[in-house]
Structure 1
Amino acid sequence: MLKLLKSGGWLLGGVLLIAAFADFRKQPALKAFHVNGFAQGTTYHIAYYAPDSSLTRFEADSIFHSLDSSLSVYKPYSLITRFNREKRGLVPDGHLKKVVLKAQEVSKASAGIFDITVMPLVKLWGFGPDGRSKTMPGPQQVKEVLQYVGYRKLYFRGDSLLKKDPRLTIDVNGIAQGYTVDVIADFLERRGVEHYLVEVGGEIRVKGRKQPSGEVMKIGIESPPGKDEDPENPVLIRTVFVKGGAVTTSGKYRNFYQNGNKKVSHLMDPRTGYTLHNEMISVTVFAADAITADAYDNVFMGMHLGEAFSFLKKHPELKCYFIYTKKDGTVADTASAGFDAMRVRQ
């Protein structure tokens, strides 16, 4: 979980030269605007600095409604729900098309660790819109479901999004929240806003600086809650400074249930059909935009630590922070060099 720390502000400097001989005029003063609410099963917080209001609560809620109507597997009227009911496929809207294209790109890059066709497994293991199952799935059930899971079974032909198996269904929850953050950020930029922070469910995208002080945005990363810790009062384990880009986190501690002594996470491995079992506890990713960060925090959760650092060498545009369990059972953390550099005030 990510949290914006309240401190300082920024100043958009000075003056604008509009004539050859020192004819200066002041830029309009920037005011702070805040839009907060509840959407997509979580809270959202939008802060931006502009001469006048550029995004109202009504406009924000309209954006969320539009996105839910396209991407929410919890809405019976949504486009993605319609696709999942179709035997062959349908023509997607702009939102669904962009999200699926990005998902397929990340699936290919990660050799299938990230895969939005995982929906049947999500339901089999008791997550998703149908709620908890009363019994754990057996090996034969997992094997049967895997027959119609796999990103290569999903494809575009012309304007249509199609499935190779009529039983194939998709779940974009692992990427949709990041996309939502980008949609709101892009809305602000089209309105000429140059300084903002958009946060939805802990997924954050930043541009510019606080006003009027010019201070770089500071983002706190929360420690996974311990057994006796209050999840409503998390402990900040690390702070980074972000001038532009997105920071998102995925963790096994966010959505799980106990089955005897076994913790069953909502994070699935679409290659095996079982929930993830590795040393990763949480992964925080920095990328240029939130849809990329959101997709890849799931990818890294599916890797061992050594694999993750090898992957990062091939993808220097990504910066990561890992919390993991060591072989002796103790919890440790580490970060890529690029992420560590973000701890320095800029």
Structure 2
Amino acid sequence: MRYLCVLLFTCTAFIHQPAWRKIQINGKAQGTTYLITWYARDSTVSQHQIDSILQRIDSSLSIYNPQSLITQFNNSGKGIVMDKHLQIVYNKSIDTYRQTGGIFDITVQPLVQAWGFGPKKVSGLPDSTAIRALRACVSSLNLYTKGNTLQKKKTCTQIDVNGIAQGYTVDVIARFLEANGIQNYLVELGGEIRVKGHKQPEGEKMKIGIEAPGENDFELSMIQKIIAVDSGAITTSGSYRKFYESEGKKISHLINPRTGYPAQNELISVTVFARDAITADAYDNALMIMGLKKALQFVEKRNDLAAHFIYRTPGGSIADTASSRFYKLLQKTQR
């Protein structure tokens, strides 16, 4: 009789266990859109909670928010007290600055603004004299910390973390999901993605499409390849993602801090796969500025990065290549 009771209890528990659900939250943040998808038996996370996280990050890292910590720093003569968001992003930014030999540099903000990609409107393109003057303000060596304060050596030094903030935000949301018991999810913000686990109940890996431009480098993107992973982050940087036309020229948002001018090379887009989104996001812009040969060599020397490159050949056609670790991701997906 006892065994029968145990059997009946087990069967009853199995019968009443909720079915897997695909749950999604979407909205707007950081000048773009977000989509969060997870698989669970009940919804433990609300849109209000997600939007609260996004608002707190915006109040720290947005150059478009006049009250944000970054805006306060940029308007200050010496510096400010950092919150945890700015502290984490600053530390990662300085590490990436060193790893890339200064190609990734959050003090590029004066140049970004001068080329028309900042919060203020500009009336025209900067000339060489203006670029030379602004470059004197640009170097992460002008930044330093004392305790939890971020300080500057030059008053004119300003920072812009747009090249890393979305990746960081994706990681913050991912950690929040996991803290609430969610182990199968995909977080996407402005095309920057982090995944963990599998689709349920099928158990399939999450599939991620890689963007590719059309015949014109600046046309809207389309999906070129698909990879399937169960853990990690993937981000994309491309000349076609943000640009404007001025005086008959297409001006890309990718500014080389060492020259002061928008990057010009054969690369059209770079997609980076890494363990977390802050790492992938930090390196995708830097690789775009490096150019194909140097970028591919850089990635191959690291075991924490994989990258896919789309570029224009000397003959004018569009081609692609990838690092050895990225090819392995594609091979696993095709099996």
Q: Distance in 2 between matches of 1:267 and 1:235?
A: 20
Alignment of 1:55-74 (within 5 A): 55-74=45-64
Q: Distance in 1 between matches of 2:36 and 2:78?
A: 39
**How far is the alpha carbon of 1:313 from its aligned partner?**
2.6
Give 2:252's match in structure 1, choosing from 250, 265, 269: 265
Give 2:211's match in structure 1, choosing from 196, 199, 222: 222
Q: Distance in 1 between matches of 2:304 and 2:216?
A: 35
Q: Distance in 2 between matches of 1:34 and 1:265?
A: 33
2:290 is paired with a residue whose SS is: coil
**Once structures 1 and 2 are overlaid, which stretch shifts more, 210-219 or 44-53?**
44-53
2:33 is paired with a residue whose SS is: strand
Q: Distance in 2 between matches of 1:222 and 1:196?
A: 21
**How far is the alpha carbon of 1:32 from its aligned partner?**
1.9
Alignment of 1:35-114 (within 5 A): 35-114=25-104
**How far is the alpha carbon of 1:28 from its aligned partner?**
6.3
Partner of 1:20: none
Determine whether 1:124 maps to 2:114. Answer: yes
Determine whether 1:149 maps to 2:145. Answer: no
Q: Distance in 2 between matches of 1:229 and 1:311?
A: 26
**Once structures 1 and 2 are overlaid, which stretch shifts more, 56-65 or 260-269?**
260-269
Paired residues in the alignment total 322
Q: TM (normalized to structure 2)?
A: 0.92
**How far is the alpha carbon of 1:162 from its aligned partner?**
0.6
2:37 is paired with a residue whose SS is: strand
1:266-320 per-residue CA deviation (whole Å, 9 max, x = no partner) reads 1110011111011111000000000000011011101121111221232121000
2:193 is paired with a residue whose SS is: strand
Partner of 1:252: 239
**How far is the alpha carbon of 1:36 from its aligned partner?**
0.8
Give 1:276's match in structure 2, choosing from 250, 256, 263: 263
Q: Which runs of 5+ in 2 are unaligned?
A: 1-9
**Higher fraction of helix:** 2
Q: Distance in 1 between matches of 2:304 and 2:61?
A: 27
Determine whether 1:318 maps to 2:305. Answer: yes
1:76-109 per-residue CA deviation (whole Å, 9 max, x = no partner) reads 1111111111100011000011001101100000
Matched to 2:103, the amino acid is I
Q: Distance in 2 between matches of 1:62 and 1:189?
A: 17
Change in Cα spacing, 1:92 to 1:228, as seen in structure 2 (3 Å) is: closer
Partner of 2:20: 30
1:132-182 per-residue CA deviation (whole Å, 9 max, x = no partner) reads x22221111111011110011111122210101011110000000001100
1:241-290 per-residue CA deviation (whole Å, 9 max, x = no partner) reads 11100000000111112233422111110011111011111000000000
Change in Cα spacing, 1:228 to 1:337, as seen in structure 2 (3 Å) is: closer
Q: With CA pairs under 8 Å and 6+ residues apart, which has the higher RCO, 1 or 2?
A: 1
Q: Which runs of 5+ in 1 are unaligned?
A: 1-22
Q: TM (normalized to structure 1)?
A: 0.89
Change in Cα spacing, 1:139 to 1:236, as seen in structure 2 (3 Å) is: same
What is the root-mean-square deviation of aligned Cα atoms in Å?
Answer: 1.9
**Once structures 1 and 2 are overlaid, which stretch shifts more, 221-230 or 302-311?**
221-230
Partner of 2:289: 302
1:14-54 per-residue CA deviation (whole Å, 9 max, x = no partner) reads xxxxxxxxx99868643221111111111110011223212
2:111 is paired with a residue whose SS is: helix
Matched to 2:153, the amino acid is K
1:169 is paired with a residue whose SS is: coil
Alignment of 1:103-252 (within 5 A): 103-131=93-121, 133-227=122-216, 231=220, 234-252=221-239
Contact 2:300 2:324 survives alignment (8 Å):
no
**How far is the alpha carbon of 1:331 from its aligned partner?**
1.4
